[in-house]
């Protein structure tokens, strides 16, 4: 059913720290690697070694330059499904292929029911859904539903592949419906925000804005650099002799 659940027991999602993300793309490749064999497999690549590379990815990392009166900075910005509370991508689906789970709030697609009308991708303001032209159905992030409940994995590995891969711990996974969970407290502490709140989709995933610029510059200046090329002549000889 594409009608939304009135209540979800949990609100599983991600918290992404824009302060610590270094834009290394590890989460992107880890996501692709896991999911091309996972719940929504395959993540088809079209012409992967040619001039018109295209393919399905659930997670894409942009880089932006954010300039304010405090100065400018580079912000790396991972973009994936936000598992919204009121996802219009689900309600517009004419076939019932798209659904939001009442148990944990994860938004999924039943690939066997999808007719590939693409309307859900039009309804998503965030560009979270990507069409697989090879299979003819829509695909999207599953929040690694086949990892987080997977008893075959060690308990510490039962997190989405992107979270497991992040070398700077910029990605956090948990229940955002529980105000006492670590992710909820992180959001409260760091002032986590919704993307495009004016759209009214109530995304579950939160983004932690970069920390404010510090006014304290480093107080210890580095010593002046030595010339790389050795000096010639008498003084150079003295320098070499005394350096030994």
Partner 1 sequence: MHPAFSVVFFTTATGAGYGLLALLGVLAGIGAIPADFWLGLISMGLALGLIAAGLLSSTGHLGRPERAWRAFSQWRSSWLSREGVASVATFVPAGLFGMGWVLLGRTDGWVAVTGLLAAVGAVVTVSTTGMIYASLKPIAQWHSRFTLPAYLIFSAMTGSVLLNALLQGFAVGSKAMVAFSLLLTLVGWGWKLATWRYNGRLEIPTTANTATGLAGGTVRSLEWPHTEENYLLKEMGFRIARKHAAKLRQIIQLLAFALPVLLLVTAFVLPWPFAPVLSALAAVVQFVGMLVERWLFFAEAKHTVTLYYGR
Q: Does 186 bind partner 1 (CB under 8 A)?
A: no
| Interatomic CA distance for residues 98 and 87, integer angstroms | 10
Q: Binding partner 1 by CB under 8 A: which of 124, 141, 162, 164?
A: 124
Residue that is written with structure tokens 């509370």 in the block: 85
CA 78 to each of CA 124, 148, 190: distance values in angstroms, whole numbers, following the listed order: 16, 20, 18
Question: How big is the site for partner 1, counted in residues (CB under 8 A)?
Answer: 70
Determine the 3-state secondary structure of 119 from DSSP. Answer: helix
- Spatial CB neighbours of 6, under 8 Å, sequence gap ≥ 6: none
Q: Does 42 bind partner 1 (CB under 8 A)?
A: no
HSE of 13 in the Cβ direction (CA atoms, 13 Å)? Answer: 31
Stretch that binds partner 1, among 5-13, 116-124, 217-225, 228-236 (CB under 8 A): 116-124
Q: Binding partner 1 by CB under 8 A: which of 3, 102, 182, 188?
A: 3
Please report which residue ranges of 64-108 form alpha helices under DSSP H. 88-91
Cβ proximity to partner 1, 42 vs 131, nearer residue: 131
Q: Does 230 bind partner 1 (CB under 8 A)?
A: no
Q: Does 125 bind partner 1 (CB under 8 A)?
A: yes
Whether the Cβ atoms of residue 31 and residue 162 lie closer than 8 Å to each other: yes
Bridge partner list, 58 = none
Interaction mask 58-97, partner 1, x per CB under 8 A? --xxxxxxxxxx----xx-x-x--------x-xxxxxxxx
Q: Does 113 bind partner 1 (CB under 8 A)?
A: yes
Q: Does 209 bind partner 1 (CB under 8 A)?
A: yes
Interaction mask 134-173, partner 1, x per CB under 8 A? -xxxx-----------------------------------
169: number of Cβ within 10 Å: 10
What would the DSSP string read from start to end of 153-164? S-GGG-S-HHHH
Q: Which residues bind partner 1 (CB under 8 A)?
A: 1-4, 18, 25, 28, 52-57, 60-69, 74-75, 77, 79, 88, 90-97, 113-119, 121-127, 130-133, 135-138, 193-201, 207, 209-210
């Amino acid at each position: 059913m594409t009608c939304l659940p009135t209540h979800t027991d949990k609100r599983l999602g991600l918290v992404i720290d824009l302060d610590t993300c270094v834009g290394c793309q590890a989460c992107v490749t880890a996501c692709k690697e896991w999911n091309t064999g996972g719940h929504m497999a395959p993540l088809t690549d079209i012409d992967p070694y040619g001039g018109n590379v295209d393919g399905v990815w659930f997670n894409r990392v942009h880089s932006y330059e954010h300039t304010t009166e405090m100065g400018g900075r580079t912000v790396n910005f991972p973009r994936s499904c936000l598992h919204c509370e009121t996802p219009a991508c689900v309600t517009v689906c004419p076939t019932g292929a798209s659904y939001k789970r009442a148990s944990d709030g994860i938004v999924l697609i039943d690939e066997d029911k999808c007719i590939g009308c693409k309307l859900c991708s039009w309804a998503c303001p965030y560009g979270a859904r990507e069409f697989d032209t090879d299979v003819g159905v829509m695909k999207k992030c599953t929040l690694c539903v086949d990892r987080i409940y997977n008893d075959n994995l060690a308990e510490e590995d039962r997190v989405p592949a992107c979270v497991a891969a992040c070398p700077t711990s910029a990605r956090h996974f948990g229940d955002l419906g529980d105000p006492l969970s670590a992710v909820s407290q992180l959001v409260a502490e760091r002032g986590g925000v919704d993307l495009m709140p004016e759209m009214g989709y109530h995304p579950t995933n939160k983004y932690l804005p970069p920390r404010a610029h510090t006014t304290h510059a480093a107080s210890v200046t580095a010593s002046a650099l030595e010339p790389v090329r050795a000096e010639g002549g008498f003084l150079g000889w003295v320098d070499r002799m005394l350096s030994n």
